[in-house]
Structure 1
Amino acid sequence: MITPLPRTILIAGGGTAGWMAAAAFSKLLPGWNIQIVESDAIGTVGVGEATIPQIRLFNQALGIDEAEFLRAVQGTIKLGIEFDGWTRPGERYLHGFGSVGRGMGLVDFHHYWLRGQAEGIAAPYHDHSLNNAAALAGSFAQVEPRGPIPPMPYAYHFDAALYAAFLRRFSEAHGAVRHEGRIVSVERSDTGDIAALLLDGERRIAADWFVDATGFAALLIGDALGVGYQDWTQWLPCDRALAVPCEGAGNPLPYTRATARSAGWQWRIPLQHRIGNGYVYSSAHLSDDEAAVTLLANLDGAPLADPKPLRFATGKRDAFWDRNCVAIGLASGFLEPLESTSIHLVQTAIARILQFLPRGAMHEADRAEYNRLTHVEYDRVRDFLMLHYHANQRVGEPLWDAVRSMALPDELARKIALFKSSARLSRRDDELFAEPGWLQVMLGQGIVPQAWHPSADALPRDDLAGFLGAAHSVAQRTAAALPPHRAFLDSLAQRVFA
């Protein structure tokens, strides 16, 4: 007798996470029954309006037309993130996507730059990045790399609610079925697996696989299955946020801005129809009322709503896949949106689910490997966020003094020590942020290596100046030739969709 294969996936919760999962499964799992439970009465967090370049791969895998997508979600282009005041007040740098300069032989560009800086013949490091130069010029075009011109990777800013609605239309067009209602309880089988969700109105929906996208409530992975949560407040002490949209005008900047404040940081995300703003802060160092005053006093235009409060504990689940349930989004963990990783963590969870999806019975070896990979991902993103806080020189402010002196996880301490000693970086376990990102943030935060690779000394001084000058010139001249970001956005209305 042939055992029937599991063919039904039930996604608990909508929002960005739930509808990303529904869109991917309905498109990429033909023959499967994809269902989603969502309640219009339950609001979503909706602060994930900035992304990183991998989101384009997700949209491309689904066959989504970029122009149609950007129109539907009021999207703009993102070339990187500007960090204002993170080293000390009044200083800023931009972590742009993509490479900075070009290496020579086996030696990376930054080793030559470090020597050039020491000899007084190098422009600021970040000025050798095409993404940085274009972002600060307010320009954008889809650049085809050729000759000395490097690629210019980009991501998006978008309205998270509009993105969820866009994906809902996509998912339902590909066969996903939505059930409106609240989850009243979770039914378990004799084996301990989840058997069904019981909704209001005495409705029961059974499935083989369950995806918990119920946000901080974690109704399946937490409440029903009892999987614990690891609190990382000792490393990332901000535990609250206020979010508010405001009016925007002119040419939207093609980058996100993160501005350090006395007890946290403020985000600025430009969309076509408004600007998204928020203040992430530590309640131990600032009251909610004080946070609201600071946020509202630092907007570009009139607020379009009252600030929306959000409370959270940064951290992750003890396990992300337990029995026949996988948690994604806020149900799996929370890392503040400093480097715009929230939506990306949903994307990688979906990709990993597709990778480990069993043909028949589920096996513990698969669960263990899924959980191991996800733990590594969360830990390394946490370390990257911690770097921004730890490497600060905002002396005399209690929050910043505390994070500057905190004990670091071993892997982050190793990375910083290695870079300080010899300007070297080593990326492990296929972690999300590659060397260019670590370099830009370390140098931007004022971490200066004591030495560079000895091969960089072999280049004559005049040749070194020419090499560095050429990298700087390519970035600046290419960026100056690009049209304004607004021109690209205006062209979306004329583009014909496939």
Structure 2
Amino acid sequence: MEIKIPDKLTDVDILLPASGEIIIRRNRDVNQINGIAPELFIKIWNNIDGIKSTTEIHAQCAEDLTPENLTDFLNTINGICIRFVGEKLETVQLHKSPEAGEKMIPLLAPEDFDGVCVRNLDAGKDADQIYKKVVVVGGGTAGYFTALALKKKRPELQVTIVESTGIPVIGVGEATTPVILSFLHEVLDIHPMDLYEAVRPSWKLGIKFDWGLPGDYHFFNPFGLNNLLESDYYNNGLDYVTLGTTLMMQGKGLIARKRNGEYYSLMNQVGYAYHLENRNLIQFLRSIILKSDIEWLDRVVKNVKVDENGDVSAIVTDREEELSYDLYIDCSGFKSLLLEGAMKSEFIPFDKTLFTDRAVTGIYNIEGNPNPFTLAQSMHHGWNWNIPVDGENHRGYVHASAFCTVDEAMAEMQKVNPQITDFKVVHFKSGRHREFWKNNVIAIGNSYAFVEPLESTGLHMIIESVKTLLKNLPAEKGNNTAIREAVNQKVAMQWDYIKWFLGIHFKYNKKFDTPYWKHCRNETDVSGVQDLLDLYGQIGPLTIIAENDPEILQSLVHDQVFGAHGFDYMLMGQKVPWGKQFRVVPEKSDYLEKRKKWQEIADEALSHKESLDLFKNHPDLIREII
């Protein structure tokens, strides 16, 4: 037999589902090994350390495998979890990128959603201590995102969703951040065209803020890298900071057409996200779930049983079933049925920073070209959103009940939007719970925390929470106190940071001089980001620090999307002054050359509506260019 030298590859996860197969994951590749018992695989795996040839490995496993079978087996796992020195063999990958849309995939922001699994598991582990059964209580985007991601990244788990279809889905527009792209199309492996055909999203290139100064003043906040200092210095504003703002101002989409009639995509040149209609998205996700290995139960959870250790032992349904699982994920929304109801986790309000607690919402049909941005519009007692989705504008006036009545809010809303005749009223409270993970309960979405959607934080924070779950859920039950406490601290810090980031939107907004806005300017607590505000006040835009010495900001910024650029946009957009200028602004000619190039591209870009219609009516063409 030829002598080969196998080495274990690093960062390998060995998964042993209850169904008996072996799943090996390394980085983003998932491979299933058939034809060998898990116990024998573990025996071979443990004997590879320090062994220099297949002959020596066979000596350790002679009772179980012939030399020929051992060679075949080692060839199978070569490149997956071991490496033969000097040889390279092909392996079959189970996980594949979508057949189309391959030009889009490399453009997605890299995200690490891999979790900690059964690393180098030996055969002596107690099977009862392994996480096997996980239930997601509640559906919606939080529940469906969680269940689908768990099944994709932890395929050894038996995942169940328990939700009631008797609870109506609120049809409302959802604005997102760019993390939605990598999550939907890379983590959940949803093909872009499947999403466009079923959900019919529109594009969000950023946010237009009718904010900051009195009168007809606004500023744009696009995604991606920008030319903040140049635009502010040469234009006295933030309208021309990137190609994205140029497209936003002209109502353009992400498809362009050259003079020769050839279409091309702008997706690799512009940061973007989606506007999504909530009902369409949920129906689409549910259709995926019903075709998957995820168990879906239409039930009402009537009671939750807790054992003497403080763990949830079972949920009791309206059919008098007692359903028991190893891990319970609370996606029950504001009710927080498990985390607050059963685990008694304390709710910590954000009412020292965020003063709104109610919204009136309405919808009207779009006539003409929908905006390729979310609108955040200052109102007398709060602010008004506009999210364009699927031929409709979804509007919502977020306000403080301490400063106006529902009728007053509706009257002001209708004055701005006379097309709306049917209003809905939504009550909410901003804040978070003390624990994200308590005993065997983890809460994701509104069941853990909520803030008003001024910066499209809803789906963004759900995805961030799912990412945290996947990265930190161990393979085994038992004493996980240390990791739970670390995760709780991390998630709490993320939400507190978002609270304070939103606070600067209100503290510095001088659009109106009403009692509500005076209260915001005088009373909004932004103490948690005071260090960042002090830095800005002394040396100017934080982007300068981020470029020169990014490590300085690492301990102060707790969200990449709402980091230094986010602070700069809101502070510069609201004309918050700063002291010294430590960076030389690039030559005006260089900046004007960029603006010229952006305008040339914008001239070729189709309108937002034309671009979306192209997706709807010519899917084959779109498949080619994305």
Q: Distance in 1 between matches of 2:173 and 2:433?
A: 20
Match of 1:105 in 2: none
Q: Distance in 2 between matches of 1:113 and 1:39?
A: 51
Query: 1:44: how far off?
Result: 4.4
Match of 1:218 in 2: 336
Q: Distance in 2 between matches of 1:267 and 1:358?
A: 40
Q: Distance in 1 between matches of 2:397 and 2:137?
A: 29
Match of 1:6 in 2: 131
Write out aligned runs for 1:148-187 (5 A).
Answer: 151-187=269-305
Query: 1:192: how far off?
Result: 1.3
Which stretch of the first structure deviates more once superposed, 255-264 or 416-425? 416-425
Shift of the 14–342 alpha-carbon distance from structure 1 to 2, 3 Å rule, reads same
Q: Distance in 2 between matches of 1:331 and 1:32?
A: 23
Shift of the 125–474 alpha-carbon distance from structure 1 to 2, 3 Å rule, reads farther
Match of 1:364 in 2: 481
Shift of the 405–307 alpha-carbon distance from structure 1 to 2, 3 Å rule, reads same
Equivalent AA in structure 1 for residue 237 of structure 2: P
Match of 1:209 in 2: 327
What SS does structure 2 have at the residue aligned with 1:94? strand
Q: 1:132 aligns with which of 240, 245, 257?
A: 245
Shift of the 123–466 alpha-carbon distance from structure 1 to 2, 3 Å rule, reads farther
Q: Distance in 1 between matches of 2:171 and 2:489?
A: 28
1:421-474 per-position Cα deviation (integer Å, ceiling 9, x unaligned):
211423535423122222111111111222211x517x7xxxx22133223333
CA contact (8 A) 1:376 1:431 kept: no
What SS does structure 2 have at the residue aligned with 1:187? strand
For the pair 1:310 / 2:426, whether they are aligned, the reply is: yes
CA contact (8 A) 2:497 2:558 kept: no
Shift of the 478–388 alpha-carbon distance from structure 1 to 2, 3 Å rule, reads same
Which stretch of the first structure deviates more once superposed, 75-84 or 41-50? 41-50
1:307-358 per-position Cα deviation (integer Å, ceiling 9, x unaligned):
2211111111111110011111110111100000111111111111111111
CA contact (8 A) 2:220 2:239 kept: yes
CA contact (8 A) 1:100 1:126 kept: no
Q: Distance in 2 between matches of 1:206 and 1:469?
A: 64
For the pair 1:486 / 2:603, whether they are aligned, the reply is: no
1:144-172 per-position Cα deviation (integer Å, ceiling 9, x unaligned):
xxxxx983111000111211111111122
Equivalent AA in structure 2 for residue 417 of structure 1: D
Query: 1:388: how far off?
Result: 0.9
Which stretch of the first structure deviates more once superposed, 169-178 or 425-434? 425-434
Q: Distance in 1 between matches of 2:435 and 2:150?
A: 22
Match of 2:581 in 1: 452
CA contact (8 A) 1:48 1:342 kept: no
CA contact (8 A) 2:375 2:386 kept: yes
Query: 1:410: how far off?
Result: 2.6
Q: Distance in 2 between matches of 1:310 and 1:136?
A: 32
Match of 2:176 in 1: 51
For the pair 1:468 / 2:591, whether they are aligned, the reply is: yes
Q: Distance in 1 between matches of 2:611 and 2:373?
A: 14
Which stretch of the first structure deviates more once superposed, 263-272 or 26-35? 26-35
Match of 1:20 in 2: 145
Match of 1:71 in 2: 197
Query: 1:395: how far off?
Result: 5.2
CA contact (8 A) 1:159 1:271 kept: yes
Write out aligned runs for 1:30-109 (5 A).
Answer: 30-44=155-169, 47=172, 49-60=174-185, 61-101=187-227
Shift of the 86–124 alpha-carbon distance from structure 1 to 2, 3 Å rule, reads closer
Report which of the two structures shows the higher radius of gyration computed on alpha carbons: 2
Shift of the 401–417 alpha-carbon distance from structure 1 to 2, 3 Å rule, reads same
Q: 1:141 aligns with which of 244, 248, 254?
A: 254
CA contact (8 A) 2:172 2:279 kept: no
Match of 2:20 in 1: none
* TM-score, with structure 2 as normaliser: 0.72
Query: 1:411: how far off?
Result: 3.2
Shift of the 476–263 alpha-carbon distance from structure 1 to 2, 3 Å rule, reads same
Q: Distance in 1 between matches of 2:169 and 2:342?
A: 21
For the pair 1:387 / 2:500, whether they are aligned, the reply is: no
Q: 2:444 aligns with which of 311, 328, 338?
A: 328
Q: Distance in 2 between matches of 1:150 and 1:56?
A: 13
Match of 1:437 in 2: 566
1:384-417 per-position Cα deviation (integer Å, ceiling 9, x unaligned):
2111111112453011001111253333222222
Paired-residue identity, %: 26
Q: Distance in 2 between matches of 1:68 and 1:244?
A: 28
What SS does structure 2 have at the residue aligned with 1:382? helix
Which stretch of the first structure deviates more once superposed, 27-36 or 420-429? 420-429
1:49-88 per-position Cα deviation (integer Å, ceiling 9, x unaligned):
1101110011122111212212312310000111114432
Q: Distance in 2 between matches of 1:440 and 1:224?
A: 42
* RMSD across aligned positions (CA): 2.2
Q: Distance in 2 between matches of 1:368 and 1:478?
A: 50
Q: Distance in 2 between matches of 1:225 and 1:474?
A: 57
Shift of the 451–288 alpha-carbon distance from structure 1 to 2, 3 Å rule, reads same
Q: Distance in 1 between matches of 2:364 and 2:238?
A: 33
Equivalent AA in structure 1 for residue 439 of structure 2: R
What SS does structure 2 have at the residue aligned with 1:125? coil
Which stretch of the first structure deviates more once superposed, 224-233 or 71-80? 71-80
- Greater relative CO (CA pairs within 8 A, separation 6+): 1
Query: 1:365: how far off?
Result: 1.3
| Number of residue equivalences | 472
Unaligned runs of 5+ in 2: 1-123, 257-266, 543-552
1:216-238 per-position Cα deviation (integer Å, ceiling 9, x unaligned):
10010001000001111121000
Match of 2:11 in 1: none
For the pair 1:343 / 2:459, whether they are aligned, the reply is: yes
Q: Distance in 2 between matches of 1:142 and 1:27?
A: 31
Equivalent AA in structure 2 for residue 128 of structure 1: V
